[in-house]
Amino acid sequence: MTNIKSVVSSIIFLVLLCIFSCVCLPLSDAFHKDVPITLLFLFIGIFSSIGMTVNSQSRAFSIRFVFYFYCFSFMFCAGITQFATGKFCWEFRPATEEVQAANLYIILFLIIFSISNVKIFKEKNAQKKFSLLLHKQHRFKIIPFMLIEIVLLVCGLYAIIRGGGIKMLFSRESFSAYSFSSIINNTAINQIVSAAITSSCIFCMVLSLNQLKIRKGIQSVLLVGMAAVAMFINVPPLAVPRFSFVCAYGGIFLYFSKWIKKGRRFAYILAFGLLIVFPALNAFRFASGKITLEMIQASMGKIGDNFTNADYDSYTMLVYCLRYVNVYGITYGSQLLGALLFFVPRNIWGSKPMGSGSLIIKSLAPSYINQNVSCSFIGEGYLNWGGLGVCVFAFLLSKISKKADDLYWEKERYIDGCFKNIYSYTALFSLFLFRGDLMSSTAFLTGMIVVTIFLSYLFREQSFVKINK
């Protein structure tokens, strides 16, 4: 019976994706423009749809599902819309050969990603034994925990006073200018501080809610209230970058919600958020005055039109990346090294590479250097080592994502609260990680993970786990 429901659900999901593609995307215009390229786009769309369907059958959400969703929305939907309408981001006008090459590299990445974990030979002793390294109840350290919440409240209040009042919590431009992390001029450190504040807010919210479940009382309610206020003023939903909003609030929701772990609710919510909610939030990003309904409606526009704006520049930047390599050559891993060593200041490392998106746009379209440009995982691989880099990046991403997904879903009873917390917001943040660029997303995610691990060790709120191979 369960298998029948799963098959029916999969068919419905695929049908909805097909209806969406036919209604909202200019497929006929794309066919009129170039049939072979359109067929390549359709292959990307179908491959991604199947990937989403397969990965959502047994697991409500996963990093691998988010990757296929990213390919479907950013590479297929946005790509074919930009190609059919000729409205590429950054006023880019690619040649037909460049578009064709980009599609082939996307398909190569998808294939390598999908087959990397296919088991050809039966593994010996594949069943790993798990044993608890520590299973001891620690007394909740309320005073240090309250001090952390007070520090977060002070950071938020400092930003509000600096920014001229509560109104800054509803404007992206004002919050970016007056937030606590904005007092630091170094971009990398600024990113780390922002990540540290965000992850601390998430940790405090998660731990205080867990304490409320264990010990109901005024003290626990007070802790939850302080954590909620600290989170709202440090990560205001309408003023922070959307990846911060998704990580913080979506991560907490995934951590606690049992409802989202049934069926394909996560898939539908993700699609609704990306196609409806995110465009609406554009009205708040740089607003300095009153937000009107007309502004929100104008921001949302037609669904198809949203695929041509800067939020969906992944496909355009991939084609741009191919052109950059054709002109300047590959970087032989220097961009990857810069992303891994993002924390090293430029006054120490004078030749430190800039982010891949900025590097490409500065070289090929200098007028857009100050814009928020992406560089996808596929582009990062090609920029570092060409076609070989695309294969290597696909293989590594496949292995890492599968390990994380398997540990969360198959060994859930053994994993500690720290990993569960990290996985919850990383599964959502991975959408922005895949969009890139790698340097900025790595800096933010690493900052969040390090702070979460530190705070989890400090409070030891749950058991630790040791994996015996």
Separation CA 150–CA 446 (nearest Å): 24
Report how many helices (DSSP H) and strands (DSSP E) the chain contains, helices first: 22, 2
C-beta of residue 251 within 8 angstroms of C-beta of residue 428? yes
Half-sphere exposure of 120 (CA within 13 A, CB side): 2
Give average pLDDT by consecutive 10-residue segment, the chain, 469 residues.
68 79 83 91 92 83 91 92 88 88 95 81 46 46 82 84 74 71 66 83 87 79 88 83 80 83 78 68 54 52 69 90 92 89 81 86 76 86 93 94 88 69 88 87 86 82 40
Q: Looking at the domain assignment, is residue 47 inside a domain?
A: yes
Q: Looking at the domain assignment, is residue 136 inside a domain?
A: no
> In sequence order, what are the beta bridge partners of 14?
none
Q: Please, what sign has the CA dihedral across residues 144, 147, 149, 152?
A: negative
Q: Looking at the domain assignment, is residue 59 inside a domain?
A: yes
What global pTM score does this model have?
A: 0.85
Separation CA 188–CA 184 (nearest Å): 9
Three-state DSSP at 171 gives: coil
Encoded tokens for 160 = 């509000």
Q: Looking at the domain assignment, is residue 76 inside a domain?
A: yes
pLDDT of residue 254: 86
Number of domains in the chain: 1
Q: Looking at the domain assignment, is residue 320 inside a domain?
A: no
H-run or E-run covering 406:
helix 377-410
Q: Looking at the domain assignment, is residue 141 inside a domain?
A: no
Q: Cα 116–119–125 angle (5° rounding)? A: 125
Q: Looking at the domain assignment, is residue 99 inside a domain?
A: yes
Q: Tell me which residue has tokens 């930003």.
A: 159
Separation CA 255–CA 30 (nearest Å): 41
Half-sphere exposure of 458 (CA within 13 A, CB side): 16
Q: Which domain does 21 fall in, by range? A: 2-85+95-107
**Spatial CA neighbour of 134 closest among 467, 463, 386:** 463
> What are the tens digits of pLDDT across the range 368-423?
766 678 889 999 999 999 999 999 999 999 999 999 998 888 766 556 678 888 88
**Which contacts of 205-208 are long-range, i.e. CB under 8 A and separated by 24 or more positions?**
205/231, 205/252, 206/252, 206/255, 206/256, 206/417, 206/421, 207/145, 207/459, 207/461, 208/145
Separation CA 203–CA 270 (nearest Å): 23
Q: Looking at the domain assignment, is residue 53 inside a domain?
A: yes
C-beta of residue 201 within 8 angstroms of C-beta of residue 224? no
Q: Please, what sign has the CA dihedral across residues 368, 369, 373, 375?
A: positive
pLDDT of residue 125: 47
